């Protein structure tokens, strides 16, 4: 019925591909009821997901992401459903910032939100997904984003908060760091000295209480002394003690309370001795310091014994004899700490399991209806930068949820086997979308688009950590935590070997004025345009080891009117002045576009000669030469749709020993290239 109202024709075969073809050709004519149209489109999308999961060998048509892009549906069809989802999220007291951040990372952007919120509305206890104290958050900002987690009081797992401290000698980690081994602590050989001392104190208190009862009895009842001295009846002694219980109890209770007060004023410390060898199997804890599981107000290397015991028991439950927990597994000495931070991701890579601990998730009952997956993407754990790296490096991941039968207990669930949607089991669409959001960062090196998109919504306590996480996620070689932002950006770009053309349309200052990487923004995060998924290999540039970028580009020559028509795209005055200065010599510049129909900023470059790149960087097997150009900046081109474009291989950022003379125009250089290639020039 919805298809009929939408002016659709029914296909001969009721297939996902058939429905999709209808959408491609008829989406501009969707004039039916928006709610019904949107629901039909959701069914089509779900059918395609099921179909894709069942194909043994996927081709381009089976790649859902290559077809159903962001804003694929007409706005008048999708926006009403998205608006209702936003209102439902507000009613459920879900943080608006976390809610809308899901749209920034989802495959279909805001069109995925209705299916996600449907999971929350249909779950048995939707109140468990609420974010307490987030009433003043907005879609753009969460009030807890900038909270200083280093000032958070350390979490207690014991009821009376009277446990002692456990001290880890962090100096003993130096050997493991220097030998490139995991800095995990062994549990099996751990010695908790204070437990023994505490037991001795309790035994002493008990003994003193009994003695005091006897002394009180004899001192206060002289007539009983003779009986006590002469009798040997144990029964009589016990009965007498019970008869005079109130005397001894008062004295014993006083002693016990005095010891407890002294114990709280002078917390007992225990030393955990590191085993002589690294634990064979260990768990890695993935957590957020805002929960109180970090160092907090404690001294480095000190943790509450109840918190230590909590994680130790989880490790033993998973058949592991050790754990890695950044709170007590990163050295404090400057040099060893630098090395440990540079290799921190390896601790998760080598762990048998990574265990996700988040107090928000501990308040969510385990169910198999997709709610746990939604809870994960709404959790504080999913908003932090370091946890993205930890997830990416982990082999097997366990998540702690609340036991639905007994809220005083918790359950461990496998992220892959239990939490994620199983496509072949016809999971709900929202469940599949939530699973996809988590899976986007899992596994091997992510694409540059995925890297920027994932980290766009993640936060860190320190700005430099964000770049460090990007470097480690990119699996760059020889990464060092002390690397500058510029050096880390170079290493990341080299690790990808090719980047989207969009990455060059940034409007920021570049890593260098000339030569290698003179086209690259000074920070990896200065090119938000590159977040769009890059599916077409013709829309990428290849980057060589020296930082030169080669690609086949649509271009046009400039005219005398362009200096007034072109508008600089820049985020600082220096970049704007560079563009304006180059446009004074407009005849020496050309304008590059991602394609002939692109309405995004064009890239202004200055041809300086003709070169030959390395064989592995040939732009085309039929063209081994390139036009060497100097990157100038970005401009908005109002004439874009009316201009005449050619297409030539361009290399930006190569070292050119001799440039064109001051009298050489861009047209001269391009014509020389055409003559060398025996191409016909069209004026």
Report the pLDDT value the prediction gives residue 213, as an integer from 0 to 100: 47
Report the pLDDT value the prediction gives residue 197, as an integer from 0 to 100: 44
Tell me, yes or no, whether 135 lies in a domain: no
Confidence of residue 160 (pLDDT cuts 50, 70, 90): confident
193-197, 210-214, 480-484, 667-671: which has the minimum mean pLDDT?
A: 193-197
- Same domain flag for 181 and 304: yes
Asked whether the predicted pLDDT for residue 196 surpasses 60, the reply is no
Quote the CA–CA distance of 361 and 374 in Å, as a whole number.
10
Span 440-444, mean pLDDT? 83
Contact 82, 42 (CB under 8 A): no
Tell me, yes or no, whether 631 lies in a domain: yes
Tell me, yes or no, whether 518 lies in a domain: no
Decide which of 152 and 425 is more confident.
152
- Same domain flag for 171 and 308: yes
Identify the H or E element spanning 372.
Answer: helix 371-378
- Residue 239 burial (10 A CB sphere; 0-12, 13-18, 19+): exposed
- Same domain flag for 349 and 398: yes
Asked whether the predicted pLDDT for residue 312 surpasses 50, the reply is yes
Tell me, yes or no, whether 498 lies in a domain: no
- Same domain flag for 277 and 266: no
Cβ of 462: how many Cβ atoms within 10 Å?
Answer: 9
- Same domain flag for 601 and 663: yes
Asked whether the predicted pLDDT for residue 449 surpasses 90, the reply is no
Contact 127, 365 (CB under 8 A): no
379, 405, 439: which is the final residue of a domain? 439
Tell me, yes or no, whether 428 lies in a domain: yes
Asked whether the predicted pLDDT for residue 348 surpasses 50, the reply is yes
- Same domain flag for 199 and 315: no
**Tokens 């874009």 identify what position?**
640
- Same domain flag for 414 and 279: yes
Report the pLDDT value the prediction gives residue 30, as an integer from 0 to 100: 67
402, 424, 439: which is the final residue of a domain? 439
- Same domain flag for 561 and 607: yes
Tell me, yes or no, whether 88 lies in a domain: no
Kindly report, residue by residue over 496-525, the tens digit of the pLDDT: 888 999 899 999 999 999 999 999 999 888
Q: How would you classify the pairing of strands 626-636 and 646-652?
A: parallel
3-state secondary structure of 20: helix
Q: Which two tokens stand for residue 521?
A: 């923004």
- Same domain flag for 333 and 398: yes
418, 439, 460: which is the final residue of a domain? 439
Q: What is the DSSP-derived secondary structure letter of residue 379?
A: S
Contact 380, 360 (CB under 8 A): yes
Structural domains in the chain (count): 4
Tell me, yes or no, whether 158 lies in a domain: no
27-36, 196-205, 391-400: which has the minimum mean pLDDT?
A: 196-205
Tell me, yes or no, whether 587 lies in a domain: yes
- Same domain flag for 245 and 319: no
- Residue 132 burial (10 A CB sphere; 0-12, 13-18, 19+): exposed
- Same domain flag for 182 and 250: no
Quote the CA–CA distance of 683 and 679 in Å, as a whole number.
13
Q: What angle do CA 441, 444, 449 make, to 5 degrees?
A: 55
- Same domain flag for 400 and 261: no
Q: Which domain holds residue 209?
A: 193-270
Report the pLDDT value the prediction gives residue 393, as an integer from 0 to 100: 95
Average pLDDT value for the chain: 81
Contact 616, 550 (CB under 8 A): no
Span 42-66, mean pLDDT? 65
């Amino acid at each position: 019925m919805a298809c009929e109202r939408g002016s659709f024709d029914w296909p001969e075969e009721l297939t996902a591909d058939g429905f999709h073809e209808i959408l491609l050709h008829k989406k501009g004519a969707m004039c039916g009821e928006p709610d019904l149209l949107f629901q039909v489109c959701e069914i089509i999308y779900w059918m395609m997901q099921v179909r894709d999961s069942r194909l043994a060998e996927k081709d381009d048509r089976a790649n859902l992401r290559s077809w159903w892009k962001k804003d694929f549906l007409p706005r008048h069809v999708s926006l009403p459903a998205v608006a209702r989802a936003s209102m439902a999220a507000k009613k459920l007291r879900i943080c608006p910032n976390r809610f809308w951040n899901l749209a920034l990372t989802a495959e279909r952007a805001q069109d995925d939100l209705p299916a996600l919120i449907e999971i929350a509305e249909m779950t048995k206890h939707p109140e468990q997904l609420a974010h307490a104290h987030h009433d003043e958050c907005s879609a753009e900002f969460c009030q807890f984003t900038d909270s200083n987690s280093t000032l958070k009081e350390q979490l207690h797992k014991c009821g009376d908060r009277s446990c002692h401290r456990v001290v880890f000698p962090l100096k003993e980690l130096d050997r493991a760091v220097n030998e490139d081994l995991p800095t995990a602590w062994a549990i099996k050989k751990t010695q908790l000295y204070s437990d023994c001392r505490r037991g001795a104190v309790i035994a002493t208190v008990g003994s003193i209480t009994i003695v005091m009862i006897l002394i009180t009895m004899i001192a206060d009842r002289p007539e009983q002394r003779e009986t006590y001295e002469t009798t040997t009846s144990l029964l009589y002694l016990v009965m007498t003690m019970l008869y005079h219980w109130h005397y001894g109890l008062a004295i014993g209770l006083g002693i016990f309370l005095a010891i407890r007060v002294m114990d709280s004023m002078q917390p007992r410390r225990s030393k955990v001795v590191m085993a002589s060898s690294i634990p064979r199997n260990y768990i890695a804890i993935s957590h957020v310091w805002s929960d109180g599981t970090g160092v907090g107000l404690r001294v480095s290397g000190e943790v509450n014994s109840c918190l230590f015991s909590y994680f130790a028991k989880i490790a033993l439950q998973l058949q592991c004899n050790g754990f890695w927990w950044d709170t007590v597994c990163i050295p404090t000495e400057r040099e060893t700490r630098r090395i440990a931070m540079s290799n921190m991701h390896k601790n998760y890579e080598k762990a048998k399991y990574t265990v996700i601990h988040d107090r928000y998730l501990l308040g969510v009952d385990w169910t198999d209806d997709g709610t746990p997956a939604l809870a994960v993407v709404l959790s504080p754990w999913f908003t932090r930068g370091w946890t993205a790296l930890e997830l990416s490096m982990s082999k097997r991941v366990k998540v702690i949820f609340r036991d639905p039968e007994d809220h005083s207990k918790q359950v461990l669930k496998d992220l892959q086997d239990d939490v994620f949607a199983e496509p072949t089991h016809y999971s709900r669409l929202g469940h599949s979308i939530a699973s996809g959001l988590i899976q986007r960062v899992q596994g091997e090196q992510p694409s540059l688009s995925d890297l920027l998109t994932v980290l766009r919504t993640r936060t860190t306590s320190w700005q430099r950590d964000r770049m460090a996480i990007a470097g480690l996620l990119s699996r760059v070689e020889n990464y060092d935590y002390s690397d500058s932002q510029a050096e880390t950006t170079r290493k990341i770009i080299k690790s990808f070997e090719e980047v989207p053309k969009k990455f060059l349309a940034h409007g920021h200052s570049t890593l260098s004025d000339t030569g290698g990487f003179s086209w690259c923004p000074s920070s990896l995060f200065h090119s938000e345009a590159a977040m769009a998924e890059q599916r077409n290999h013709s829309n990428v540039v290849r980057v060589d080891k020296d930082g030169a970028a080669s690609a086949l580009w649509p271009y046009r020559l400039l005219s005398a009117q362009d200096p007034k028509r072109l508008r600089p795209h820049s985020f600082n005055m220096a970049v704007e002045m560079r563009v304006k200065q180059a446009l004074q010599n407009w005849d020496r510049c050309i304008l590059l576009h991602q394609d002939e129909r692109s309405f995004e900023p064009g890239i202004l470059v200055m041809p300086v000669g003709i070169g030959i790149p390395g064989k592995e960087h040939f732009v085309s097997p039929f063209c081994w030469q390139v036009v060497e150009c100097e990157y100038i900046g970005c401009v908005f081109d109002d004439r874009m749709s009316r201009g005449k474009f050619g297409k030539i291989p361009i290399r930006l950022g190569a070292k050119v020993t001799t440039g064109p003379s001051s009298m050489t125009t861009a047209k001269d250089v391009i014509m020389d290239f055409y003559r060398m290639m025996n191409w016909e020039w069209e004026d």
